[in-house]
A and B are shown apart, each in its own frame.
Chain A
Amino acid sequence: MDALERYVRAGLELAGEEVDDIDIAVIRAADAVYGPALAALDAADLSEVLPETDLDPSRPPRPL
């Protein structure tokens, strides 16, 4: 059992979810597709980017 499967089984068990082999296979495939982009986002240094606390997608952002 690799790290991904251990993470999935443990995480879903903690959430009270059952896990079967289909779940593992699908999640492995999804992680292969989206995992690298999510990891790159996770690794990005965004400490200087201020959040938009009054987000209104219908308008441009307010000046900082």
Chain B
Amino acid sequence: MTGHPQDLPLREQTAAIAAGDLDPAELLDATLERIAERDTDLNSIAATFPDESRRMVEEAPAGPLHGVPIAVKDMFALPWRAPRDGSDYEQIPKGESGVYRLLRDAGAVIVGVTNMHFWGGGSTGHVSAYGPVGNPWSTDHCGGGSSGGSAAAVGARIVAGAVGTDGGGSIRLPAAYCGVTGLKGTHGAVPLVGYTHRFSSLGSMGPICRDAADARLLGEVLYERALQPGGAAGLCVGIVRDPFWNDIDPEIERACRDALDAAGWATEDVELMGAEHARAAIVLRLTLEALPAVHPEEVAGADPLMRALLKYEKLLPARHLMKADRIRALLRRELKQAFERVDVIAWPTVPAPAPPIADTTVELPSGPSPADPANVGQSGIGNLAGIPGISVPVGTHSSGLPMALQLQAAWGREPVLLDAAEHLERATSRRFVDALPPMAAAAAA
């Protein structure tokens, strides 16, 4: 085999191993070497554990991911490591999380845990006990959050597959920033055992990969079901203009519209009553669900900014949460009705490209905005509803950073999203899923 094995997509790695053309132990060593050489500026991997990874290689059963390295977000208990959640603290004891068991039983090799936004509480990834997560397209820009390390590692061709979690957009948002494909599953599709945020009614897990075919392969393992490919040419796409297309960087808006045009899908305008309150509702649910899980000693050890934000959350009136839950009920009913008319709904995953790590303000047509409220406004409705969603790369911004379209479907319809993503890839001649970030392109050259 010529070239570095991590330049192959996940499905080609598994095929090469099955054919005897690639040795899993050599693949693991090559991956660890790539982490060492490529992750210094990126900071996508929080920790590796070569001895345990080698043991997984030796004991790997036959399975759909036999012998391939997978990175997992630092929110899952491993038998040898307690998850930190982007903090200095062990959040829950080490052990066999559901994600660990699924990957192990599929023959995968966990090669490292990925860096992430502190406590999963941000869409930029620039706040972490392990340092900020960089973007493979420009390492002084944000890799995103909270699953930023997972997205950045895949984008940089450090690993071909990673597991993320998404409580308010945390798979889809960093996938968009890093130019990779991120699938948030339907709520509850992956067992919550050994997951630091198992208390959440919003969180869901999913694969982050280079393209939809790889996401299908890893997703079938995580969701324990076949995600059979089907046709996507005849889909009907709902366009929810207000508020999700209202305040978008013009280049991103154009790229998303061009991608939808290239796909050739029928489109229909969809209105969702209550959508204007989705951002407030997701922020309330996200922050207040997490509050009881914060350990007092962690508050004492937190940085002053986090301590102050926790105090702010304590001052939020209870009636706000009750109203948020009414909005959630309304939106779930509205979406159920919408999915009787359209197959998927579509809008830009993020309203602006990844901001610099030094200043996480994004520029919107309405003016500058902190990245978090702008991003969660695009993604949080999916978490409130519990529906699956996928972010697909659809362009490169004039800044050199990726742009992405988000598609969401009804509960359990992950296969439709993967079909749609593959259709988009073909419609755009795979230009954006196969594009190499500068750090990878330089090495390939």
- Using CB atoms and an 8 Å cutoff, list the residues of chain A in contact with chain B: 7-8, 11-12, 15, 17, 19, 22-23, 25-27, 30-31, 33-34, 37-38, 40-42, 44, 46, 49-52, 55-61, 64
Contacts and interface: CB of A to CB of B under 8 A. Distances in A.
B308 A57 contact: no
B386 A57 contact: yes
Contacts of A19: 311
Interface of B: 186-189, 201-202, 274, 276-277, 279-281, 283-284, 304-305, 307-309, 311-312, 314-317, 319-320, 323-330, 332-333, 335-336, 369-370, 373, 385-386, 410-411
A60 B332 contact: yes
Contacts of A17: 311, 314
The winner among A19, A56, A60 for most chain B CB atoms within 10 A is A60
8 contacts: A7-B315, A11-B314, A38-B283, A40-B276, A42-B319, A49-B327, A49-B329, A51-B326
Given A22-B304, A34-B280, A51 B311 contact: no
A12 B314 CA distance: 8
Contacts of A49: 274, 326-327, 329-330
The winner among B279, B308, B323, B333 for most chain A CB atoms within 10 A is B308
Given A40-B276, A42-B323, A57 B187 contact: yes
Nearest to B339: A60
A35 B352 CA distance: 22
A30 B309 CA distance: 8
Contacts of A46: 323, 326-327, 330
The winner among A15, A31, A33, A57 for most chain B CB atoms within 10 A is A57
A58 B202 contact: no
Contacts of B283: 34, 37-38
A16 B323 CA distance: 27
Contacts of A7: 315
Contacts of B312: 26-27, 30-31
B320 A8 contact: no
Contact of A37 (B274, B277, B304): B277
A15 B314 contact: yes
A25 B189 CA distance: 41
Given A26-B312, A30-B308, 5 more contacts: A12-B314, A26-B304, A26-B309, A38-B280, A40-B276
A11 B314 CA distance: 9
A27 B284 CA distance: 15
A61 B410 CA distance: 11
Nearest to A37: B280
A39 to B, nearest CB: 9
Given A17-B311, A23-B308, A31-B312, A58 B187 contact: yes
A33 B312 CA distance: 12
B202 A57 contact: yes
A15 B369 CA distance: 31
Contact of A61 (B276, B315, B325, B332): B332
A7 to B, nearest CB: 7
A11 B320 contact: no
A52 B323 contact: no
B280 A40 contact: yes
Contacts of A27: 308-309, 311-312, 315
Given A42-B323, A57-B201, A57-B386, A37 B329 contact: no
A40 B314 contact: no
A58 B323 contact: no
A59 B315 contact: no
Nearest to B383: A57
Contacts of B277: 37, 40-41, 44
A49 B324 CA distance: 11
Given A33-B370, A46-B327, A60-B336, A41 B315 contact: no
Contact of B329 (A11, A25, A52): A52
B282 to A, nearest CB: 10
A44 B326 CA distance: 11
A21 B329 CA distance: 39
A52 B308 contact: no
Contacts of B308: 22-23, 25-27, 30
B333 to A, nearest CB: 5
A44 to B, nearest CB: 6
Contacts of A52: 325, 328-329, 332
Contacts of A64: 333
A18 B226 CA distance: 53
B305 A26 contact: yes
A23 B307 contact: yes
A33 B370 CA distance: 8
